[in-house]
Amino acid sequence: MASAFKNFFITFIICLLIFGFLGFTYGIDLIDSFRMTDDTEQSNSSDVTEPPVDDSSADVSAPDTSAPEQQGNIVNPDGDVFTAIVMIVDDNNRPIDMAFIDSNAKTERFVYCPISVKTKVSNKIGTNMAADDLFSTLTEEEILQCVSAMTGIETQYCLRFNRDSLAIVAEQIPGASIALNESITFINPAYKDYVPEPNTPFPDDYEIFISNVDGKVLLSEQLNNKSKIQWLLEYAPEEVELNDYNTLYSTIAKSLIRQFFEKEGSTKSSAVMSKIIKACNTNLTIDQAGAHLNTIFSYDDFDKHEIQYPSAREIAVKALRDADGSFN
């Protein structure tokens, strides 16, 4: 038994020596091969990873929201440009209607864009307000900043017309007319304070009757002086609601303003513009009006484009710039 154990122990020691030698000889090479394989895989992995891109020369600046350089469909590169927001206001200076006008002698285009007074506009603290609420509290320069942002076109001038100034506008338009849905009657301004004697008939001209002829009233024929036109603009019988009156006033006012800019044969006169400027609230000076005179009265000569201001500013900016023609 002792002899068998002795033989097993000797055989075990010999096997350890043999396998120990083989392990030391070939094990190092095997480990090195694993190391090489791992290094190769790491090297290959780094090869497929693109190095960081140096974008120091890339244009990553914010979009330019300023008016781009005039280019594209330029017909007359030295031509004048007249841009304005024209507003009809009530007695509280609140806009009832407004329109953006862009007369561009460079592209020979006349753009007219009515804008709802309920369009939302951001105020100084970033709160959206209806344009009529906001603009009634702002100066002309502040309004121009808002309109320039709304249209994407630098707006130069703001003109605010009330009833008195509209009456003066009407006087300057050859053959001016207004559209009325029905005939109206009002007291002649000459008899505003008239108190008739008992049992005495009213004078024949105590009331002025404005007839509706084919949907229009010719101011030159039926309202032949400024005071009568003012009376018409102030026409608001007690039974007429304020909104209905504002609608009538707005209809008359819009008709007059459009005719002033658009009516064929409008007088290109510095004297006319001088009267208009003195009558309305505006940052447009008489000298500036004289310099822009031909451009202001260009409707007959230029291509006409009317844009209805949509609810989305981005759509409006694109439409107006396309219509202007110098941003293409």
For the stretch 167-206, pLDDT in tens is: 888 877 777 777 666 666 767 767 778 888 888 888 887 8
Q: Which residues contact 103 (CB under 8 A, 6 or more apart)?
A: 81, 82, 83, 109, 110, 111, 295, 296, 298, 299, 302
For the stretch 225-235, pLDDT in tens is: 566 667 677 66
| Average confidence score pLDDT of the chain | 73
- We find that the CATH architecture of domain 69-162+280-328 is 2-Layer Sandwich (3.30)
End-to-end CA distance of the chain: 109
Task: Give the pLDDT score at 84.
Answer: 95
Q: Please say whether the beta carbons of 244 and 224 come within 8 A.
A: no
For the stretch 245-299, pLDDT in tens is: 667 777 778 778 878 877 665 667 788 888 889 889 999 999 999 899 889 888 7
For the stretch 65-86, pLDDT in tens is: 333 344 445 666 667 999 999 9
Rounded to an integer, the average pLDDT of 7-20 is 53
Task: Give the pLDDT score at 312.
Answer: 81
Task: Characterize the bridge pairing of strands 216-218 and 177-179.
Answer: antiparallel
Residue keyed to tokens 């100084």: 124
Domain ranges of the chain: 69-162+280-328, 163-193+204-267
Task: Give the pLDDT score at 176.
Answer: 76
For the stretch 131-173, pLDDT in tens is: 999 999 999 999 999 999 999 999 999 999 988 888 888 877 7
Rounded to an integer, the average pLDDT of 11-36 is 48
Encode 105-142: b = buried (16+ Cβ within 10 Å), e = exposed: bbbbbbbbbbbbbebebeeeeeeeeebbebbbebebee
